[in-house]
Amino acid sequence: MKVQIKNLGAVKDATIDLSKKLNIFCGGNSTGKTYMAYILYAITSLENKSFGIGFDKKYIDILIENNEVEIPLDISQMYDFKQSENKKIKPNLWKLFSIPESSSNDFFSKTEIIFKEKENDFFNRIKKIRFSELIKFHTYTLTIEKTEDEKIKVILFEDTIKNEEFVRYLDIAFLSILYAKLIYYPIMSSTIFPVERNSIFTFNKELSIKNNEKYDLIKQLSSNEDYNRFDLLFSTSNRYPQPIRDCLKVADDLDAIKKTNSVYFDFAIEIEKELLDGSVVIGKNGNVEFSSNKTSKRKTLSFHQSSSIVKTLAGLVIYLKHTALKNDLVIIDEPELNLHPDNQIKLTRIIAQLINKGLNFVISTHSDYILREINNLIMLSSNDENIKSIREEHHFKDGEYINQKDINVHYFYYKLKTQASVDLIPVTEYGFEIPSIDAEIEKQNNLTNDLFYTLKYGTKE
C-alpha cells in the first residue's frame, strides 16, 4: 500500500510503501524528512479519524449478552470511509503543522496526497486480512479476530461489558475506529516521537494541552466575536503541531496510562537496563521520575534532574510499557538524539527485535552508526552457516536482524536549488549506501590522512 506525496514543503515527489516494516529517511538538513514523517502520522494516526458510523444495536445486544459477536464487514462502506478520511488530510494540514489557517493555501495549495491503491485492490486486501489480536479502542481493550473474508469477531472481557460508558462508546464510535484500524492494515494506528520529545515530560505541566484548551475557551468566550457553542465544545488547541500536541496529551494522561501493561513491556525494561541503567517511573501525581541504579539507595530523581538520555527515551519507554500494540507504526525523528554511539547501536538492535515482534517503524536519521548497524542486521538475516557462527560469536539475540524485503530506504537531497528529490535507495543482501554520508566520511578520512602524513613525514604523499 503506497502513498505518493507531491509538493509538500521542500519535497517535490516521494512515494512511501506503508506495507514495509521499516522505512528509513536519510539526507541533509531541511530536505523535508520531518514534513514527510508528520504527514505519514496524519494519515495513520487514529487521532485524526472521524466517528459517526453507526453500529447496529442487535450486534451490541448480542455482544453484551454473550461476551462476543460476529459482525459482517461492509467493505464498500469501509472504502467510502477511507476516501472520506483521506480527503480531510489536505484541508487540515495547517493544524498538522500549526500554522495560521489563513496561510494554509500559500503553503499547501499544490500539495497532493495520492493513495496508490485501486478500489479492487482495496477490496482484495481487506478480504485477505487474517489476524487475532488484542486491540485498544479508546481506553478499552478487546480481542478482534478476522478469519473470514467479510466477517469479524469481537470478544470482550467481563469487566468491560459492565462499563456503561463502553456501551455508549460502542454505539457511536466503535465501528468507525474499527474501520480506521483496518483501512491501512497491517498498520492499525501510529505514534510519533518528534525531536522535541526530550522536552515533553520536562515541561508537560507548563505546556499542558488541557490548560491551553481551557485558556483558548476562556479567550473565545470573553471575546466579542460570534461563536458556535457546539464547535467550541469539540475544539482543540492548535498552538502546537499535531505530533507535539498528541505527545502532550499522553503526558496529561499518565495516571490512566500507567494502569495497563503492554505486550512489549519487556522491551521497555531492556531499554532501561541496557541504555538507561535505571527505571522510568510514573509517580503518584502523574509526574515522570527516574530511579537510577547508579546510586547506592536507588535514589529517585525528578525528570528535571535526569540526564539527557533519560529525557530522550522516556517517551519510548512509557509507550512500550503501557500503550504499544501489535501492528502500530512507530515514527521516530532522529533516534540518535543525545545517544552515545554504543547506545545508538543498542537501540537499533532493540528496534530490530520490535520489528520482528510486530511493530512497524519509520525512522529519520543522520547517524552513520545507526545506518551501519542496520546494514549489519540485514547481513545477519542470511541463513549462511558462517553468518550464523558470527551471530553467535558476537552474542546477537534472537530477533536482532532485519530482512532485506522488509526495508525501504529513502534518500532526500536537493537536485534543484528549491526542490528536494526523494530517491529509493537499493537495498541488497549487504545493505545500502547513503551518498551524502559516505561522501562526507571519505572527505574527512582523506583530510585526516593528509594532515597526519604531512605532520609525520613532511608531505601528504
Shared domain check, 156 and 66: yes
Domains held by the chain: number: 2
Convert the pLDDT of each residue in 106-163 to its tens digit.
899 999 999 999 999 999 999 999 988 887 776 677 889 998 888 999 888 766 666 6
Shared domain check, 40 and 67: no
Q: Which residue pairs, CB below 8 angstroms and at least 24 apart, start in 71-78?
A: 71/151, 71/152, 71/153, 71/154, 72/150, 72/151, 73/126, 73/150, 73/151, 73/152, 73/182, 75/122, 75/123, 75/126, 75/127, 75/150, 77/53, 77/179, 78/126, 78/179, 78/182, 78/183
Answer whether residue 301 is part of any domain: no
Shared domain check, 168 and 59: yes
Shared domain check, 137 and 122: yes
Answer whether residue 297 is part of any domain: no
What pTM did the predictor assign? 0.90
Shared domain check, 369 and 461: yes
Q: Is the pLDDT reported for residue 353 higher than 50?
A: yes
Q: Which of 169, 187, 205 is the last residue of a domain?
A: 187
Query: Which residue matches cell numbers 540485514?
Result: 378
Shared domain check, 160 and 60: yes
pLDDT of the residue at 432? 96
- CA atoms of 331 and 452, how far apart (whole Å): 42
Shared domain check, 36 and 130: no
Answer whether residue 241 is part of any domain: no
Answer whether residue 362 is part of any domain: yes
Answer whether residue 304 is part of any domain: no
Shared domain check, 432 and 459: yes
Mean pLDDT within 414-423: 88
Answer whether residue 140 is part of any domain: yes
Grid coordinates belonging to 194: 518528534
Q: Is the pLDDT reported for residue 377 higher than 90?
A: yes
Shared domain check, 182 and 137: yes
pLDDT of the residue at 3? 94
Grid coordinates belonging to 388: 550464523
Q: Which of 187, 210, 231 is the last residue of a domain?
A: 187
Say which range, 266-280, 291-305, 409-423, has the weakest mean pLDDT: 291-305
Residues 98-111 as b or e (16 or more Cβ within 10 Å = b): ebeeeebeebbeeb
Q: Which of 166, 187, 208 is the last residue of a domain?
A: 187
Answer whether residue 224 is part of any domain: no
Bridge partner residues of 141 (DSSP): 136
Shared domain check, 40 and 121: no
Provide the residue range defining the domain that includes 353: 20-44+327-410+425-461
| pLDDT tier at 300, thresholds 50, 70, 90 | confident
Shared domain check, 444 and 391: yes
Shared domain check, 345 and 397: yes
Continuous H helices in 357-430: 368-379, 385-393
